Amino acid sequence: MLLLLKEHTKEYIRENSENLSIGTTLIDPQDIGIDISGYKIGIRKSTDGTIDAMITGNASNDLQAGKIAS
């Protein structure tokens, strides 16, 4: 499941890198075309154009986050 989110997030970033605002954007998997609940995707664009993304679980007992794209 995380691999699916990773690949779709990379594709989303490739397609939208120019339109992403500087700062952090928080999206749901549904926003990138995946019908999975329980996760959030954070995409951060720096002023130098660097884009990083992280995925994290919504559940309070799942506090681990994994870097998935940059």
Cβ-based neighbours of 30, under 8 Å, separated by 6 or more: 36
What integer pLDDT is reported at residue 34 of this predicted model? 92
What integer pLDDT is reported at residue 59 of this predicted model? 58
Per-residue pLDDT of the chain (70 residues; tens, 9 = 90+): 888 999 999 999 999 999 999 999 999 999 999 998 889 999 999 999 999 999 988 754 444 445 555 5
Scan for tokens 């870097």, then name that residue: 67
What integer pLDDT is reported at residue 67 of this predicted model? 53
Nearest to 40 by CA among 62, 22, 17: 62
